[in-house]
Structure 1
Amino acid sequence: MDDVSKLMRRHTYVTKTSTSFIYGILVSIAVNFFWTPGHIYSSGITGLAQLLNTISSRALPFTVSTGLGLFLLNIPLFLVAWRGIGREFTIFTIITVFLSSFMIQLLKPVPLTHDPIICAIFGGAVNGFGTGTALKNGISTGGLDILGLVIRDKTGKSIGSINIAFNALIVVAAGFAYGWPYALYSVIGLIVNAKVMDMTYTKQQRMQVMIITNRPNTVIDSVQNHLRRGITIVHNAEGAYQHDAKTILFTVISRYEMGELEEALLESDPNAFASISDSVKILGRFYEPKP
């Protein structure tokens, strides 16, 4: 059993390291092939590193490259993650940020086009896919992700307002650096980045599930064997067509768990009726795996 556990952990480590490498390549393509030629700023710490590169090249006797700036700006956040989240999480975050910084340095800017709209859209799409893939495989790309996890863990609150304020600062900086049209192009890039990331990383998307069945105990056991989710039972429901006894089950899952839910229902009651809708807001406890 110990050998199996070690093998699974080793497989997890290899998967995470490979994903870190893939993310490093994708973010370097976004920065060097699209954002830099198009004068587009990214969100978060990557955008701040771009801003530092612009300021240093114009006002200082030396230039801080985007890759180097990205790693240096993340160092204080590594310390926060080490103390507030955990060693394994921090180690993989350091690996991911280091590979990202290294690949940004290694791949020199290749201007496929200087059109700012194309650069904003494709840069945002490439980076969003990379970030979503990283998060999907349980690794952090550093930056504000770390603050978000620490604050959520300590207070239960998100840092949505901090993210908005930080990215607004980046957009304003883009306006001052390259002109206000480029600030708007950067906003387009931020929106595309967020949309593609949401399409790729689905664990944060909540869905309300209503299941109507005449085999409630079997369905509950099957669902809870596949998923770690609470279920609310509504007894004494009645079907309008045949007036047979039914039970209604309510639960909330993430979109990432849809496949497991479908498998659980097929195993327990193939005739069950399930209605699934997007859940806009959740109040109360909702289990999320530790990073």
Structure 2
Amino acid sequence: MLWLQIKKMIVVMLGALLNAVGMNFFLIPADVYASGFAGISQLVSRIFTEYTPFTISTGILLLLLNIPVTILGWKVIGRSFTLYSFFSVLLMTLFLEILPVVHVSKDLLLNAVFGGVISAVGVGVTLKWGASTGGLDIIAMVLSRMKDKPVGTYIFLLNAVIILTAGYLFGWEKALYTLVTLYASTRVIDAIHTKHEKLTAMIISQKSNELKKAIHAKLVRGITSVPAKGAFSNEDKEMLIIVITRYELFDLERVIKEVDPNAFTNIVETAGIFGFFRKD
């Protein structure tokens, strides 16, 4: 268990480093904006530099913006996910402050593509290990639970605000290149993690009671229990059906492996949900 936590921290650290490299070496020098709170931090930092006598770095703004969001996520989403997400933000802030801003290329398209891809690799591996890069992910998940709409809808709307504001203040060319960054990063994240916001897990186990307790202790999700029988063994079992977000897949996998390594689990894509998506 301890070794698993250490590996998770190492992965989160690697993800934060890749995010910082993508921003300081490609996106920030080219004035092309990242998605989420990183892009908002870039934008606000640029506004301070251009329109006020003060200068605030992107890394410090990223940390400040994430503090209230972390408190919200701690109360609504879950402590483990939020704690690792804030750890990711702290590391990313540190790396953004340590690494120099370097003009690797003067080509805007190359900066947009490589900045988006490198940052997305960092986001993807972080998500795959049950954390996030904070900020926008947490807000989108909270809004999704309140309104029962897909997380992707809110991420798209919040990123649209970044693009429109950047285009209005600093020119539409850079804003359009930001769209290239968002497209490249989305494709990479989908390839590394999963493009589906919600997933359905069907778990067949002889330790269903222990699994239900363990899942409820880790995830704020309702579970449907269905009697099942093995066709070959003729053994009585139970099938647990649970709908989760892609961010919770890592934690669910770990719970199943710890409680019942012999459980048979089928993860399927969920196209849509009717009804309230929260704990029963």
Fold conserved (TM > 0.5)?
yes
Name the residue aligned to 2:43: 51
Q: Displacement, 1:129?
A: 1.2
Distance in 2, matches of 1:19 and 1:202, equals 17
The reply on whether 1:94 has 2:86 as its aligned counterpart is yes
Verify: 1:172 aligned to 2:164, yes or no: yes
Identity of aligned residues (%): 32
1:180-205 deviation digits (Å, cap 9, x = unpaired): 11111110101111110000112737
Quick one: distance in 2 between partners of 1:46 and 1:23?
Answer: 14
Q: Which letter maps to 1:165?
A: L
Read off the aligned partner of 1:157 and give its amino acid letter: K
Secondary structure at the residue paired with 1:51?
helix
Per the alignment, residue 242 of structure 1 pairs with none
Larger Rg: 1
1:158 counterpart = 2:143? no
- 1:204 corresponds to: 196
Pick one of 86, 95, 107 that aligns with 1:103. Answer: 95
Cα deviation 1:152-183 (Å, max 9, x = unaligned): 34453334443222211211233234421111
How many Å apart are 1:130 and its aligned residue? 0.9
Letter in 2 for 1:22: L
One-letter amino acid of the structure 2 residue matched with residue 173 of structure 1: T
CA contact (8 A) 1:124 1:193 kept: yes
CA 103–42 in structure 1, closer or farther in 2 if over 3 Å, else same? same
Q: Is 1:281–2:266 an aligned residue pair?
A: no
Alignment of 1:239-278 (within 5 A): none
Matches within 5 A, 1:20-39: 20-39=12-31
Q: Give the match's secondary structure for 1:141.
A: coil
CA shift for structure 1 position 229: 5.0
- Give the counterpart letter for 2:272 in structure 1: I
Match of 2:129 in 1: 137
Contact 1:44 1:163 in 2 (8 A): yes
Closer, same or farther: CA 116–153 of 1 in aligned 2, 3 Å: same
Superposition RMSD in Å: 3.8
CA distance in 2, matches of 1:181, 1:81: 35
Judged with a 3 Å threshold, the aligned counterparts in structure 2 of structure 1 residues 207 and 46 are, in CA distance, closer, same or farther, namely closer
1:65 matched residue in structure 2: 57
How far off is 1:279 after superposition?
Answer: 5.4
Give the ranges of 4+ consecutive aligned residues of structure 1 lying more than 4 Å apart after TM superposition.
205-208, 218-222, 227-230
Alpha carbons of 1:114 and 1:220: their partners in 2 closer, same or farther (altered >3 Å)? farther
Residues 32 and 177 in structure 2, CA contact (< 8 A), matched pair in contact too: yes
Whether the 8 Å CA contact 2:113–2:180 is kept in 1: the answer is yes
Gaps of 5+ in 2: 201-228, 254-261, 263-267
Equivalent-residue separation in structure 2 for 1:112 and 1:71 (angstroms) = 26
Tell me if structure 1 keeps the 8 A contact 2:151–2:197. Answer: no
Q: CA deviation at 1:92?
A: 1.4
Matched AA of 2:88: T
* Unmatched tracts of structure 1, length 5 or more: 1-7, 209-215, 231-253, 261-266, 268-277
Report the TM-score when normalising by structure 2. Answer: 0.72
Paired letter, 1:98: L
Render the CA deviation track for 1:207-252: whole Å, top value 9, x for unaligned.
99xxxxxxx9448999x99x9658xxxxxxxxxxxxxxxxxxxxxx
SS, match of residue 67 in structure 1: helix
Give runs of aligned pairs for residues 227-246 of structure 1, distance below 5 A: 229=241
Q: Which amino acid aligns with 2:189?
A: M
Residue type matched to 2:8 in 1? K
SS at the partner of 1:139? Answer: coil
* Cα distance in 2 for residues equivalent to 1:97 and 1:116: 27
- Structure 2 contact 11–129 (Cα < 8 Å) conserved: yes
Count of residues in correspondence between the two structures = 237
SS in 2 for 1:56: helix
Q: Deviations over 1:225-284 (max 9, x none)?
A: 9x9658xxxxxxxxxxxxxxxxxxxxxxx8x89xx9xxxxxx9xxxxxxxxxx9572335
Measure, in 1, the Cα distance between the counterparts of 2:233 and 2:66: 44
Q: Which residue is equivalent to 1:244?
A: none
Question: SS at 1:142's partner residue?
Answer: coil
- State which of 9, 20, 23 in structure 2 corresponds to 1:17: 9
